[in-house]
Amino acid sequence: MFDLSLLSRKARPLVGLDVSSSSVKLLELVGGDGETLRVERYVIEPMAREAVVDGNIANMDLAVDAVRRALRRFGAGVKGVAMALPASAVITKRIMLPGGLREEEMEVQVESEANQYIPFALDEVNLDFQVLGDAVGEDQDVEVLIAASRKEKVEDRVALAEAAGLKAEVMDVESFATQSAFDLVVRQLPQGGKDQIIALVDVGATMTRVTVFLNANEVYTREQVFGGNQLTHDVARMYGMSVEDAEAAKKNKTLPETFAAELQRPFVDSLALEISRVLQFFFTSTQYNQVDQIVLAGGCAVIPDLPDVVKSRTQIETLVANPFSGMAVSSKVRPKALVADAPALMVACGLAMRRVEA
């Protein structure tokens, strides 16, 4: 079985390597195991738009080049990394198994169960599992999470790391890594978010993913085809730029003064409307009729006024995710820049929290 890194964290920390359609993110956390975590260093390096498409590495050379650029900025001493597959590339299923099984017996049972849920031959997939704990109300049974992905999806990520001189020691799932970082954000809420229904809204380049949690359990998820690329293309059309120049101008804040009123505010209003629509789907398709808190993540989360506009439209308290709040910060990291980049570093943060045996 290939380690999809659902298993317990162990001793040696890894650098988180998040490869998305818009950028490469490298993040190193030190400490843990009772010590306060410290953000040691991080970089965000733009990715060529045709390199990664729909979570798949479409142009390996361009992707490798972006990782190498990120490594040059990041600095020496990086070998082992934790990476992640997009949730769309992974099939997950919770099953019940008898308690007390040896690991070898459990592997046999998992493979038998996986045959029922995975629409591919088992020799075509990487399969892993994690025991979540005792099953509620079930005598001596345990709840087990199965995760499986087509081998080529995993192999592409491994090959990308190797071509850049790295070793992918852990292959996680983006949604699981995000949840690890999200848990750090929830702890900052009143009563640590206990018994609160919290919607994590992750606005990426092409997709907005809304995941609703109750006491760390995912109770709903939905994706909308709406993301930051829409604003980038609007900028390119309005000001006669290439898409790449438009993205750079957004990031460097070198757009005309009229940008905020002409393009940014309409985009914010549209995004708030999309979030409101997803929450309405949540209310009509589940037993829940309220959300107590919205947490914004992704690169668009720091757009000025977005939290206020979302709160106004939804009537729900809204904050911007910062999993690094309360962590120490090394002298290599600018605290103000880290706060601005934090919502885009959720996957990288979750990956950097992973551990492997020394």
Q: What is the mean pLDDT of residues 49-54?
A: 88
Same domain (yes/no): 30, 173: yes
Q: How far is CA 179 from each of CA 25, 36, 72, 350, rounded to the nearest angstrom?
A: 17, 19, 29, 7
Same domain (yes/no): 251, 342: no
Same domain (yes/no): 165, 83: yes
The predicted pLDDT at position 131 comes to: 80
Residue at 62 is within a domain:
yes
Same domain (yes/no): 198, 229: yes
Report the DSSP pairing between strands 12-13 and 15-19. Answer: unpaired
Whether the predicted pLDDT of 11 surpasses 80: no
Whether the predicted pLDDT of 356 surpasses 70: no
pTM value?
0.89
Same domain (yes/no): 243, 170: no
**pLDDT tens-digit profile of 199-252?**
999 998 888 999 999 998 889 999 988 899 999 999 999 999 998 888 888 888
Domain extent at residue 33: 12-87+153-181+327-356
Residues 148 and 171: beta-carbon distance below 8 Å: no
What percentage of residues in the chain have a pLDDT greater than 70? 93
Residue at 26 is within a domain:
yes
The predicted pLDDT at position 21 comes to: 87
What percentage of residues in the chain have a pLDDT greater than 90? 59
Same domain (yes/no): 59, 177: yes
Same domain (yes/no): 346, 255: no
In terms of pLDDT, which residue wins out, 13 or 227? Answer: 227
Q: What is the mean pLDDT of residues 130-151?
A: 78
Residue at 63 is within a domain:
yes
Residue at 167 is within a domain:
yes
Same domain (yes/no): 162, 219: no
DSSP3 helix / strand / coil % (the chain, rounded to 5): 40, 30, 30
**pLDDT tens-digit profile of 275-328?**
999 999 999 999 999 999 999 999 899 998 999 999 999 999 999 999 999 899
Same domain (yes/no): 332, 352: yes
Residue at 73 is within a domain:
yes
Averaged pLDDT score across all residues of the chain: 89
Same domain (yes/no): 250, 207: yes
The predicted pLDDT at position 32 comes to: 65
CATH number at residue 237: 3.30.420.40
Residue at 130 is within a domain:
no
Q: Which of 221, 193, 191, 192 is nearest to 208 (CA)?
A: 221
**Backbone φ and ψ of 161, nearest 5°:** -60, -45
What are the residues whose beta carbons fall under 8 Å from the beta carbon of 88, sequence distance 6 or more? 54, 55
Q: What is the mean pLDDT of residues 68-79?
A: 93
**pLDDT tens-digit profile of 154-195?**
999 999 999 999 999 999 999 999 999 999 999 999 899 999
DSSP string, 178-247: HHHHHHHHHTTSGGGGTT-EEEEEEE-SS-EEEEEEETTEEEEEEEES--HHHHHHHHHHHHT--HHHHH
| Token pair for 269 | 């209003």
Residue at 230 is within a domain:
yes
Count of structural domains within the chain:
2
Same domain (yes/no): 158, 253: no
Same domain (yes/no): 57, 171: yes
Q: Confidence class of residue 139 from pLDDT cuts 50, 70 and 90?
A: low
Residue at 94 is within a domain:
no
